[in-house]
Amino acid sequence: MICYLDSNIVMYFIESRSLWGPRATAVIGDMRSHGDILAVSDLTRMECRVGPVRAGDAFLLQAFDSFFSAAGVGVIPITSAAWDRATTIRAKHGFRALDAIHLATAAEAGCDIFLTNNKRLSSFPDIRVNELS
């Protein structure tokens, strides 16, 4: 199974803050133990890396970069088809631009699940959206 991770999930997992960090760690650990592929895009990479770059936190930046290059984590390109689909998603569903790009990228790449902590996205019909709980 291929699971696209929304940026918030990766941030919870790497930064392990608040109550969401342990939950993200448990879900990602479970997926890895089942041999699932974790997928992200360069948009995910950018969103996750902004905070550490802004703060000058080389240790946290390296933690994110290590995750993105780890075995079992695939970086999906954002294709022209994904950009076009994101346009349609944004127009039809009213999602924020970045959310529409994430959803379109996951759907175009054939991911089975989109894992997020954004309840608004659960109404998206083109891919199974699981909320972190």
d(CA 125, CA 13): 26
For position 23, what pLDDT does the model report? 94
* pLDDT cut 70: percent of the chain above it: 100
Range of the domain at 80: 2-131
Taking only the tens place, the pLDDT of each residue in 24-37 is 999 999 999 999 99
3-state helix, strand, coil in the chain (%, to 5): 60, 15, 25
| Domain count within the chain | 1
- CATH code, domain carrying 23: 3.40.50.1010
Q: Which residues pair with 116 in a beta bridge?
A: 131
Confidence class for position 90, pLDDT limits 50, 70, 90? very high
pLDDT of 28: 96
d(CA 5, CA 100): 14
In contact, 19 and 60? CB cutoff 8 Å: no
Residue recorded with tokens 């790009």: 101
In this model, does residue 119 exceed pLDDT 80? yes
